[in-house]
Structure 1
């Protein structure tokens, strides 16, 4: 991809939802679009036995698993140990009937239970197939939620749920800054707080890539604001902690200045935190896109500092010096090369089955090598 320089810019009530769609009088497979997944997780339709939640954003997968659990049990019972059964992959890969048996089981005290199977993979396919074949949501009140990492379209588990009449698959892709900005804005509105578009964009740019991290940081920010009705840059500077500041920024900025050892160290810290490789590649892509827009203006004759000062959303003050250095050393042509490699790596992560962390490492090392080249 080559960019040209241009301007840029009983059951709980919510468990009683609409019935499943019918085809010739029978339930038809439910197709859930990514933009509809949040709403679906908070109110699954009647007749839904099991939901698969998968994708490269583990924080979003976890959040939607909790939302499905609350929808099926009600807020007051969502943490009740007698209402939850948590299974591991080993439990069902060795005993293929375990999942269906638990779904069909009656409890001594009565009432619904939610069975949760985390980190499912192809080893669980037989157990999940037996669940969908043997358990009838019309005869059992229990429900099943299954989580998994990023599944390709060829995944047997994903295909099974996409074709199921009593199951559905929710994809949890890494949200872009625009989508995350809408979610953050809704959080502030719900809390009765005001935030300008620029400050919402600043938060989205810094917190994109991990929904769980975003939720923790926004919770902390709202508590810190106290009785203040309007968000200010000071609130952000004093509350958004090192986890948000340093995790992705460390890796991206090290690569952009050509420091391969520092790039590798930052990437290893991200892998130790179970960060999604796709989220890490997206962080590099966002940075390159932002830099590309500004580099076009610099190549058109503008001063790097003035370009930086007029950037929207505003550049976080701790990163301004790094941006200035990059605008003086990176050409539009080299930015295009780095972006091409990052996009290619993301595609390979999703489609080839190659080790996604290794693909991400190579993309960052390639960017660092480009940064070391002399001349524009």
Structure 2
């Protein structure tokens, strides 16, 4: 059986005794770990008795497939259900799982954790089609799910974010659940304890201090500097990014993403939308502290110059990967060439 997010929530509240094996898998490894830990705690409770928990590796089950069934069928030495856990499950252990599923019931509880498994995965097919097993997919969080996670986490900590803050966090935290939890925990610690029954307002200024690390800030600084057309600002920003240990290809891709957002906004303005509306319509939204500078850049660039700039970035990334030339030098030269392009005259528009 396959458990949807809604069915998973219900199952976690009260695990169905019919399922003696659960596979938690998906591309969001943070969410895989979170759900696996939640289920393990639900099975074991607060009991830390080592006799109730045992772990296997995929290599162990490949070399001795019968081990899983033997251990799952064995009764424990202490009261309570035993947990058998495999943290690196893959199609290679399908025979071990098949041998276990040949039985109708077993005393132990088997928890499998895996990365992204395709629809053709033999392990997924076996478990989803079994009567006594369930598969729980963990896909990357979409904006709606992120908003829910943000709201629930902050509310539990006594923090009251405005819709603006919630939306900003949902758009900027990324889609890995572990990273999301980590950033929210840092935010809660920064805000300090809140008395029971009380609530503290969370502002965008609070969020800006905590969310996003120095590497992300440095990358954003390069993109904004290049987009401004200032060679001096671009050189300074690139030096700061290098000091943070940023890879040249990552830098190029951040600049490309910034140029693509400018292209969307410039295109909207060319179609008759006011600059303010064109910028406000971008998703994810422009960071509030960059709004004024980004809006100026929208008026600075033309569609043709942005297309030429994106071509420079694309060609430079290919050179970084294929030629063996110094990548940082290539990236810096490309960024300066792009900055110069912003001074290209806009067709049919005044630069003033």
Q: TM-score range by the shorter chain?
A: 0.5 to 0.7
Query: d(CA) in 1 for partners of 2:49 and 2:200?
Result: 36
Q: 1:131 aligns with which of 82, 100, 113?
A: 100
Residue 56 (1) aligns with residue 38 (2): no
Structure 1 gaps of 5+ residues are 1-29, 270-279, 339-364
Hey, what does 1:203 align to over in structure 2?
169
Hey, what does 2:87 align to over in structure 1?
118
Hey, what does 2:38 align to over in structure 1?
67
Residue 311 of structure 1 and its aligned partner are, at CA, apart by 6.1
Taking a change above 3 Å as real, the CA distance of residues 244 and 37 of structure 1, as seen in their structure-2 partners, is farther
Query: d(CA) in 1 for partners of 2:265 and 2:215?
Result: 24
Structure 2 gaps of 5+ residues are 228-233, 235-240, 311-330, 347-352
Residue 54 of structure 1 and its aligned partner are, at CA, apart by 0.9
Hey, what does 2:179 align to over in structure 1?
213
| Mean CA deviation greater in 57-66 or 182-191 | 182-191
- Answer whether contact 2:173 2:211 (CA < 8 A) is retained: no
Hey, what does 1:236 align to over in structure 2?
207
Residue 33 of structure 1 and its aligned partner are, at CA, apart by 2.2
- Answer whether contact 2:262 2:297 (CA < 8 A) is retained: no
Query: d(CA) in 2 for partners of 1:146 and 1:315?
Result: 40
Query: d(CA) in 1 for partners of 2:23 and 2:259?
Result: 34
Hey, what does 2:109 align to over in structure 1?
143
Look at both structures and tell me which one has the larger radius of gyration over its CA atoms: 2
Output aligned runs, 1:38-117, within 5 Å: 38-74=9-45, 76-77=46-47, 79-117=48-86
- Answer whether contact 2:69 2:100 (CA < 8 A) is retained: yes
Residue 211 of structure 1 and its aligned partner are, at CA, apart by 0.2
Query: d(CA) in 2 for partners of 1:295 and 1:38?
Result: 44
**Partner SS state of residue 78, structure 2:** coil
- Answer whether contact 1:202 1:315 (CA < 8 A) is retained: no
Hey, what does 1:173 align to over in structure 2?
139
**Partner SS state of residue 230, structure 1:** strand
Query: d(CA) in 1 for partners of 2:145 and 2:176?
Result: 12
- Answer whether contact 2:279 2:286 (CA < 8 A) is retained: yes
Output aligned runs, 1:277-288, within 5 Å: none
Hey, what does 1:265 align to over in structure 2?
247
Residue 187 (1) aligns with residue 156 (2): no
Query: d(CA) in 2 for partners of 1:144 and 1:93?
Result: 16
Residue 329 of structure 1 and its aligned partner are, at CA, apart by 4.7
Hey, what does 2:323 align to over in structure 1?
none
Output aligned runs, 1:307-346, within 5 Å: 307-308=278-279, 314-317=285-288, 320=291, 321=293, 325=297, 329=301, 331=303
Supply the RMSD in Å over aligned alpha carbons: 4.3
Q: Deviation per CA, 1:109-137, whole angstroms, max 9, x where unpaired?
A: 23211111112112111111112223x43
- Answer whether contact 1:87 1:117 (CA < 8 A) is retained: yes
**Partner SS state of residue 146, structure 1:** strand
More contact order relative to length (CA 8 Å, sep ≥ 6): 1
Taking a change above 3 Å as real, the CA distance of residues 323 and 82 of structure 1, as seen in their structure-2 partners, is farther
Residue 32 (1) aligns with residue 14 (2): no
**Partner SS state of residue 136, structure 2:** strand
- Answer whether contact 1:37 1:171 (CA < 8 A) is retained: no
Taking a change above 3 Å as real, the CA distance of residues 113 and 318 of structure 1, as seen in their structure-2 partners, is farther
Q: Deviation per CA, 1:73-131, whole angstroms, max 9, x where unpaired?
A: 22x13x55333212111111111011111211222223211111112112111111112
- Answer whether contact 2:58 2:88 (CA < 8 A) is retained: yes
